[in-house]
Amino acid sequence: MNKLELLSPAGDLQIYKAVVNAGADAVYFGGDLFGARAYAKNFSMDDAKEAIEYGHLHGAQSYLTVNTLLKNPEIEDKLYDYLRTYVENGIDAFIVQDFGVFNFIRTFFPDTDIHVSTQASLCTPYGAKFFEDLGASRIVTAREISIEEIAKINKACPDLEIESFIHGALCVCYSGQCLMSSMLGGRSGNRGRCAQPCRLPYEAFDDKGKKLNKKGNYILSPKDFCTIEYLPQMIEAGVMSFKIEGRMKQLDYAAGVVSVYRHYLDQYLYKGANNYSVTEEDINRLLDLGNRCGFTSLYLKDKNGPEMITFEAPGHTKAESTKAEYPEQKIKVDCKVEACLGKEFTITFTDEKGNVGRCVSNVVEAAQNRATSKQDIEKAVSGLGNTVFAIDKLNISYDDNIFLPVSLIKNARRTAIQELSDSLLNLGEKRILPYEKIDKRYNEMQNARCFVAVLSKEQLNAVSKFSFVDAIAVPIKLFDDAKKLFDGKVFVYLPPILRDRFIADIKIDERADGVIACSYDELGLLSDMGYPKDKIILDHRLYTFNNRSLAGFEKEDYKYNCIPYELSLKELKHRDNHNSQMIIYSRIPMMITANCTVKNTVGCNKSNQVINLVDRKNVQSLVTCNCDYCYNTIYNSRKYIAFDLKKDILELGIKEVRIDFTVEDSKEVEQVLNAFEDSFLNDNPYHFTEDFTKGHLKRGVE
């Protein structure tokens, strides 16, 4: 069994030291830039350097979160110097979401480990293998997967480290699949600025206007999670790193949670699974440290219903702080002193792992007046109070009637301790390769084709009437109908999330002109199937935010992509769009959730129901259930329409424009396509008759 790692968050240097002293084997934190907690205090570079050294002296590793999506100027002008400083200071790994950042690190810092963030929403062995083959040393699993799914990943990728969350706050949305905060308020979760709209109250209504809420209005707000009772099963499934959430939490929370989980990981290691038992006292201690309406056990046993939801205002309640102390855990060393007449004075410190610090000093001379006693030597050697070390065993070999100045003994002690410290801090030099900016590519205007995606047979029938549509994408179950009804190219549109139990359903008809893949799991699956990469479109959910992402995918022969929703027209001018499609009409999918809002309100009925969410400002959002693949989609209340931006869009040099239909009936589909033909194709002014949004095309996100 690999060494098990208890991984703690830290919001500042004081918390970092406290969680190491409480028993963390590793700590993750954010720096000044590019972390998914932009509003946290985060570490200065000086703090980070001190933290990394403190961790290494105590046998703990340090991981830096670089887990936001980066724009081209950020990745090209700021990232290299930022990461280089951390590598020079000894950072052990980077936690990454952006595929461009992943490739950036592989290129310029090839010896530094990369951990793929939970924001990549990895759920299957196929996604894990995709990143393992590219050089990832570890993946952080999606929080929605079960113990059985984790075990399958480990079986398929036994050499890949698996990190899973065990305690803390839970997003209702698949991490990285959430645009709700971004679209409603311009604060992007993918940029570390989530405003947590899921923690607000919502009323749910069916299509007849009947209110569905029964327990309360906080139907998108999950409880905090606690998995302490499942640690043995998680270990046996292959989890090696056990991650606590909470970089914005206080010291007493972080260190307190670490100390409890440390106790139970050690209990498993020393006593085994058969003697593993969690006391009610420790469960209550975790509750007292902080919780939202009690705890849930994540999706470890494949739950996705109301037992996970707070239903009431989700304040993070905790007992009054006990201000527990977590004193520094000293490193025990054996000390051997040789003070024999006529020989060199020698001090050697050795820690439990065999690391050595030694100082060989002056030749020991006979005493002329007062002799140096054994007690004198012991006192001078034992003065380690200001270091991280404490003497466990002291062995002094000495002759009577010798003289050693106290200053000489102390200087030798300091030198030996410094050498031992240096050996603990010297983890090997990691390569830093010279930086080269990516080649700029300038976009040339193309005759953009029209690509349409549909989700229903009714929408397919309506789209088939329009001859200007060049290509269409449909779910697998509609492929045969599409081939009969539509004369142009037909692509298969895979689900936004791939789960293990649905893999057998993913069959691509050989007549398909291509596939829209929405996840890394699907890219891995398609690769395993031997599906041609030049026929795969990377959906907007596979964020190609910057040219490094595009170049990384192109290096792996993925050339066809869909532009993400969060980039502005101004930012897109600096993106290579020549193989891109751009969505110009849709209802923007703000959340993809494993937790089911229908199940939370009226119960699971497997009816692919559509309901309305109404917020405190009386804004309505549609929630659709896809019972074929067991997920919900929450769509923006307003349609996204960019027909009147034709000139700006075509100047981006895109390959094709894309229209996505989601909940529209045939009448709406025809209205939209008629409006597109009249305004976008025939250059007539487009007059909007309803409230709409242009997403981030004008305003962008921070």
Query: Is residue 415's pLDDT more than 70?
Result: yes
Cα atoms in the Cβ-side hemisphere of radius 13 Å centred on 462:
20
Q: Which of 236, 233, 244 is nearest to 26 (CA)?
A: 244
Q: Of 265, 281, 311, which marks where a domain is finished?
A: 311
Both 114 and 165 in one domain: the answer is: yes
pLDDT bucket at 445, cuts 50 / 70 / 90: confident
Are residues 136 and 279 both part of a single domain? yes
Mean pLDDT of 290-296: 93
- Whether residue 506 sits in one domain with residue 361: no
Residues 129 and 269 in one domain: yes
CATH label of the domain that carries residue 676: 3.20.20.60
What is the per-residue pLDDT for 691?
Answer: 84
Domain-located, residue 610: no
> Within this chain, do residues 540 and 410 fall inside the same structural domain, yes or no?
no
- pLDDT at 40 (0 to 100): 63
Would you state the pLDDT for residue 321?
Answer: 65
Shared-domain flag, residues 410 and 477: no
What confidence tens digit (pLDDT) does each residue in 58-89 have?
999 999 999 999 999 999 999 999 999 999 99
How many independent structural domains does the chain possess? Answer: 3
pLDDT bin (cut points 50, 70, 90) of residue 318 is confident
Percentage of the chain exceeding pLDDT 70: 98
CB 99 within 8 A of CB 75: no
User: Does any domain span residue 421?
Assistant: yes
**Rounded Cα–Cα distance for residues 539 and 561 (Å):** 6
Q: Is residue 210 part of a domain?
A: no
Give the model's pLDDT for residue 680.
94
Closest Cα partner for 583 from 560, 563, 561? 563
pLDDT tens, position by position, 322-366: 667 888 889 999 999 999 999 999 999 999 989 999 999 999 999
pLDDT value of position 551: 95
Residue 351 φ/ψ, nearest 5 degrees: -90, 180
Collect all residues with Cβ–Cβ distance below 8 Å to 631 and sequence separation of at least 6. Answer: 495, 496, 497, 592, 593, 594
473 with 584, same domain? yes
Is 0.85 surpassed by the pTM of this model? yes
For residues 302 and 343, state if they share a domain. no
Instruction: List Cβ neighbours of 451 (8 Å cut-off, separation of 6 or more).
Output: 469, 470, 471, 472, 473, 581, 656, 657, 658, 659
Same domain, 266 and 359: no
Quickly list H helices, 627-665.
646-650
Is the pLDDT at 650 greater than 60, yes or no? yes
Assigned domain for 242 exists:
yes
Instruction: Give the chain's mean pLDDT.
Output: 94
Confidence check: pLDDT of 150 > 50: yes
pLDDT, mean of residues 696-700: 89
Residue after which a domain boundary falls, among 311, 345, 365: 311
d(CA 625, CA 633): 7
pLDDT of residue 623: 95
Where among 374, 409, 425 does a domain terminate?
A: 425
Q: Which two tokens stand for residue 509?
A: 């008809």
Per-residue pLDDT, averaged over 663-671, amounts to 96
Q: What is the pLDDT of residues 208-238, one digit of tens each?
A: 999 999 899 999 999 999 999 999 999 999 9
For residue 690, the model assigns a pLDDT of 81
Candidates 497, 522, 552, 544; CA nearest to 134 is 552
The single-letter DSSP state of residue 588 is: -
Give Rg (Cα) of the chain.
30
pLDDT tens digits, 247-264: 888 899 999 999 999 999
Within 13 Å, how many C-alpha atoms sit on residue 673's CB side?
Answer: 26
- Identify whether residues 98 and 31 lie together within a single domain: yes
How many CB atoms sit inside 10 A of residue 318's CB? 16
List pLDDT tens digits, range 381-407: 998 988 999 999 999 999 999 999 999
Q: What letter represents residue 614's amino acid?
A: V
What is the per-residue pLDDT for 192? 87
How confident is the model at residue 1, as a pLDDT?
Answer: 47
Residue 268 lies in a domain: yes
Alpha carbon distance 312, 623 (integer Å):
20
On whether both 339 and 303 belong to a single domain, the answer is no
**Residue 304 is part of a domain; what is its CATH number?**
3.20.20.70
Average pLDDT of span 579-599: 95
Pure H helices in 496-580: 520-528, 547-555, 569-572
Q: CA end-to-end span of the chain, whole Å?
A: 44
| 543: pLDDT strictly greater than 70 | yes
Domain for residue 691, yes or no?
no
Residue 209, both tokens: 């206007």
The three-point CA angle 599-605-608 to 5° equals 90
Answer whether 310's CB lies under 8 Å from 217's CB. Answer: no
pLDDT-derived band at 448 (thresholds 50, 70, 90) equals confident
**pLDDT for residue 693 is more than 60:** yes
Match 């060393």 to its residue by tokens: 333
pLDDT band at 320 (very low <50, low <70, confident <90, very high): low
Asked if residue 337 belongs to a domain, the reply is yes
Look up residue 672 and give its amino acid: V
Range of the domain at 395: 331-425
Stretch 664-678: mean pLDDT: 96
Q: With bands split at pLDDT 50, 70 and 90, how would you rate the model's confidence at 18?
A: very high
Give the bridge partners for 522, in sequence order: none
Under 8 Å between Cβ of 482 and 460:
yes
Mean pLDDT computed over 283-301: 94
Q: Is residue 122 part of a domain?
A: yes
pLDDT digits (tens, 9 = 90+) for 636-646: 989 999 999 99
What pLDDT score was predicted for residue 702? 81
Q: What is the pLDDT of residue 535?
A: 98
* pLDDT of amino acid 35: 67
Whether residue 556 sits in one domain with residue 453: yes
274 SS3 class: helix
Note the pLDDT of residue 607.
87
Determine the Cα–Cα distance for residues 177 and 497; give it in Å rounded to an integer. Answer: 9
Query: Which residues on adjacent β-strands are paired with residue 204?
Result: 613
What is the per-residue pLDDT across 154-208, written as a single tens digit (0 to 9) for each?
A: 999 999 999 999 999 999 999 889 999 999 888 998 998 899 999 999 999 998 9
